[in-house]
Protein backbone atom coordinates (compact mmCIF):
# COMPACT_ATOMS: atom_id res chain seq x y z
CA UNK A 1 0.00 0.00 0.00
CA UNK A 2 1.17 3.47 -0.85
CA UNK A 3 1.24 6.00 2.03
CA UNK A 4 -0.55 9.26 1.26
CA UNK A 5 -1.10 12.51 3.17
CA UNK A 6 -3.97 14.85 2.42
CA UNK A 7 -5.97 17.63 3.99
CA UNK A 8 -9.59 18.49 3.33
CA UNK A 9 -11.59 21.55 4.42
CA UNK A 10 -15.13 22.77 3.97
CA UNK A 11 -15.60 25.85 1.84
CA UNK A 12 -17.54 28.80 3.25
CA UNK A 13 -18.65 29.85 -0.25
CA UNK A 14 -20.13 28.12 -3.28
CA UNK A 15 -18.21 26.16 -5.90
CA UNK A 16 -18.12 28.84 -8.62
CA UNK A 17 -17.21 31.62 -6.18
CA UNK A 18 -14.31 29.62 -4.73
CA UNK A 19 -13.10 28.67 -8.21
CA UNK A 20 -13.25 32.33 -9.34
CA UNK A 21 -11.27 33.49 -6.27
CA UNK A 22 -8.56 30.95 -6.97
CA UNK A 23 -8.40 31.81 -10.66
CA UNK A 24 -8.03 35.49 -9.69
CA UNK A 25 -4.95 34.39 -7.70
CA UNK A 26 -3.38 32.83 -10.79
CA UNK A 27 -4.64 29.25 -10.51
CA UNK A 28 -5.56 27.50 -13.75
CA UNK A 29 -7.90 24.56 -14.33
CA UNK A 30 -5.95 21.36 -15.07
CA UNK A 31 -8.79 18.84 -14.90
CA UNK A 32 -12.57 18.95 -14.58
CA UNK A 33 -14.33 15.66 -13.87
CA UNK A 34 -17.21 13.87 -12.14
CA UNK A 35 -16.38 11.32 -9.44
CA UNK A 36 -18.91 8.70 -8.31
CA UNK A 37 -17.98 6.58 -5.29
CA UNK A 38 -19.77 3.66 -3.68
CA UNK A 39 -18.39 2.99 -0.17
CA UNK A 40 -18.46 -0.65 0.91
CA UNK A 41 -17.67 -2.54 4.11
CA UNK A 42 -17.99 -6.15 5.24
CA UNK A 43 -21.59 -7.35 5.71
CA UNK A 44 -21.14 -8.04 9.42
CA UNK A 45 -19.94 -4.53 10.31
CA UNK A 46 -22.32 -2.19 12.10
CA UNK A 47 -23.21 1.13 10.46
CA UNK A 48 -23.71 3.86 13.05
CA UNK A 49 -22.15 7.14 14.13
CA UNK A 50 -20.79 5.33 17.21
CA UNK A 51 -18.40 3.41 14.97
CA UNK A 52 -18.03 5.99 12.18
CA UNK A 53 -14.26 6.45 12.63
CA UNK A 54 -13.80 2.68 12.58
CA UNK A 55 -15.90 2.28 9.42
CA UNK A 56 -14.12 5.15 7.69
CA UNK A 57 -10.67 3.82 8.51
CA UNK A 58 -10.98 0.65 6.42
CA UNK A 59 -13.30 0.29 3.42
CA UNK A 60 -13.44 -0.34 -0.31
CA UNK A 61 -14.60 2.14 -2.94
CA UNK A 62 -16.13 1.27 -6.26
CA UNK A 63 -14.89 4.47 -7.93
CA UNK A 64 -15.93 5.83 -11.29
CA UNK A 65 -14.09 8.82 -12.71
CA UNK A 66 -16.66 9.49 -15.43
CA UNK A 67 -15.24 9.14 -18.92
CA UNK A 68 -11.80 8.11 -17.65
CA UNK A 69 -11.53 5.02 -15.46
CA UNK A 70 -13.29 2.71 -13.04
CA UNK A 71 -11.52 1.01 -10.17
CA UNK A 72 -11.76 -0.72 -6.85
CA UNK A 73 -9.88 1.23 -4.19
CA UNK A 74 -9.00 -0.25 -0.80
CA UNK A 75 -8.62 2.60 1.72
CA UNK A 76 -6.92 2.24 5.07
CA UNK A 77 -6.68 5.35 7.26
CA UNK A 78 -5.15 6.02 10.64
CA UNK A 79 -7.40 8.41 12.56
CA UNK A 80 -6.13 9.87 15.84
CA UNK A 81 -8.16 10.56 18.99
CA UNK A 82 -9.06 14.04 17.66
CA UNK A 83 -10.63 12.56 14.53
CA UNK A 84 -7.74 13.75 12.35
CA UNK A 85 -6.49 11.55 9.51
CA UNK A 86 -2.78 11.33 10.26
CA UNK A 87 -1.95 8.84 7.50
CA UNK A 88 -3.67 6.83 4.85
CA UNK A 89 -2.85 4.16 2.35
CA UNK A 90 -4.66 2.87 -0.69
CA UNK A 91 -4.50 0.02 -3.16
CA UNK A 92 -6.11 0.50 -6.55
CA UNK A 93 -7.28 -2.07 -9.06
CA UNK A 94 -8.62 -0.88 -12.39
CA UNK A 95 -11.79 -2.60 -13.58
CA UNK A 96 -13.85 -2.24 -16.75
CA UNK A 97 -17.40 -1.97 -15.41
CA UNK A 98 -18.78 -0.23 -12.30
CA UNK A 99 -21.79 -2.56 -11.92
CA UNK A 100 -19.64 -5.66 -12.24
CA UNK A 101 -17.21 -4.27 -9.64
CA UNK A 102 -20.10 -3.52 -7.28
CA UNK A 103 -21.57 -7.02 -7.76
CA UNK A 104 -18.12 -8.56 -7.26
CA UNK A 105 -17.83 -6.80 -3.88
CA UNK A 106 -21.36 -7.91 -2.91
CA UNK A 107 -20.38 -11.51 -3.70
CA UNK A 108 -17.26 -11.15 -1.55
CA UNK A 109 -19.49 -10.34 1.43
CA UNK A 110 -19.50 -6.54 1.34
CA UNK A 111 -22.40 -4.11 1.53
CA UNK A 112 -22.88 -0.52 0.44
CA UNK A 113 -23.04 1.96 3.30
CA UNK A 114 -22.64 5.22 1.46
CA UNK A 115 -22.54 6.84 -1.95
CA UNK A 116 -20.85 10.14 -2.84
CA UNK A 117 -21.04 11.96 -6.16
CA UNK A 118 -18.96 15.06 -6.70
CA UNK A 119 -17.89 17.46 -9.41
CA UNK A 120 -14.13 18.04 -9.11
CA UNK A 121 -11.88 20.70 -10.53
CA UNK A 122 -8.11 20.39 -10.14
CA UNK A 123 -6.46 23.81 -10.04
CA UNK A 124 -2.75 24.62 -10.07
CA UNK A 125 -0.64 27.74 -9.89
CA UNK A 126 2.62 25.97 -10.76
CA UNK A 127 3.48 25.57 -7.08
CA UNK A 128 0.45 23.80 -5.57
CA UNK A 129 -2.40 21.66 -6.85
CA UNK A 130 -5.75 21.99 -5.10
CA UNK A 131 -9.03 20.21 -5.78
CA UNK A 132 -12.39 21.93 -5.39
CA UNK A 133 -15.12 19.33 -4.87
CA UNK A 134 -18.84 20.07 -5.14
CA UNK A 135 -20.35 17.09 -3.33
CA UNK A 136 -24.02 16.41 -4.20
CA UNK A 137 -26.38 16.98 -1.25
CA UNK A 138 -23.48 18.03 0.99
CA UNK A 139 -21.56 21.13 -0.06
CA UNK A 140 -18.19 22.32 -1.31
CA UNK A 141 -14.84 21.01 -0.07
CA UNK A 142 -11.27 21.87 -0.89
CA UNK A 143 -8.68 19.08 -0.88
CA UNK A 144 -4.90 19.11 -1.08
CA UNK A 145 -2.92 15.90 -1.50
CA UNK A 146 0.72 15.63 -0.55
CA UNK A 147 1.83 14.49 -3.99
CA UNK A 148 0.92 16.71 -6.89
CA UNK A 149 -0.60 14.95 -9.86
CA UNK A 150 0.98 17.06 -12.61
CA UNK A 151 3.80 18.98 -10.90
CA UNK A 152 7.24 17.62 -9.99
CA UNK A 153 7.15 18.98 -6.43
CA UNK A 154 4.81 18.11 -3.57
CA UNK A 155 2.50 20.23 -1.40
CA UNK A 156 4.54 19.64 1.76
CA UNK A 157 6.44 16.89 3.52
CA UNK A 158 4.21 16.97 6.63
CA UNK A 159 0.59 17.74 7.37
CA UNK A 160 1.70 20.98 9.03
CA UNK A 161 3.56 22.11 5.89
CA UNK A 162 0.53 21.27 3.76
CA UNK A 163 -1.76 23.26 6.08
CA UNK A 164 0.63 26.22 5.99
CA UNK A 165 0.76 26.04 2.18
CA UNK A 166 -3.03 26.11 1.97
CA UNK A 167 -3.41 28.89 4.55
CA UNK A 168 -1.14 31.22 2.55
CA UNK A 169 -3.95 31.72 0.00
CA UNK A 170 -6.43 33.09 2.60
CA UNK A 171 -9.30 31.25 0.97
CA UNK A 172 -12.84 31.36 2.41
CA UNK A 173 -12.61 27.97 4.15
CA UNK A 174 -13.37 26.52 7.58
CA UNK A 175 -9.78 26.64 8.83
CA UNK A 176 -10.84 25.15 12.15
CA UNK A 177 -10.85 21.66 10.62
CA UNK A 178 -8.25 20.59 8.05
CA UNK A 179 -9.40 16.98 8.29
CA UNK A 180 -13.01 17.28 7.15
CA UNK A 181 -14.36 13.94 6.05
CA UNK A 182 -16.94 14.07 3.27
CA UNK A 183 -17.95 10.48 3.95
CA UNK A 184 -18.40 11.22 7.66
CA UNK A 185 -20.52 14.27 6.88
CA UNK A 186 -22.70 12.26 4.48
CA UNK A 187 -23.02 9.40 6.98
CA UNK A 188 -24.10 11.88 9.65
CA UNK A 189 -26.67 13.35 7.26
CA UNK A 190 -28.11 9.95 6.31
CA UNK A 191 -28.26 8.21 9.72
CA 24 to each of CA 4, 123, 133, 170: distance values in angstroms, whole numbers, following the listed order: 29, 12, 18, 13
Query: Looking at residue 51, what DSSP letter applies?
Result: G
Residue 2 pLDDT exceeds 80: no
**Do you know the residue count of the chain?**
191
Give the C-alpha separation, 58 to 78, whole Å: 9
pLDDT score at 1: 45
pTM (2 d.p.): 0.89
Check: CB of residue 1 under 8 Å from CB of residue 76.
yes
Mean pLDDT of the chain: 92
Averaged pLDDT, 149-156? 82
Query: Looking at residue 6, what DSSP letter applies?
Result: E
Q: How confident is the model at residue 64 (pLDDT cuts 50, 70, 90)?
A: very high
Check: CB of residue 121 under 8 Å from CB of residue 35.
no
**Which comes out higher in pLDDT, residue 191 or 111?**
111
Amino acid sequence: MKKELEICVRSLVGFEELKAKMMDMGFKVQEDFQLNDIYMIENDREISMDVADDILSNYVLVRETVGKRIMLVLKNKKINENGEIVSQRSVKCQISNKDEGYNFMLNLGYKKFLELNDHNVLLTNGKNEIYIQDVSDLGVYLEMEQKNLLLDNNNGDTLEEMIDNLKQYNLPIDDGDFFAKKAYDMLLKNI
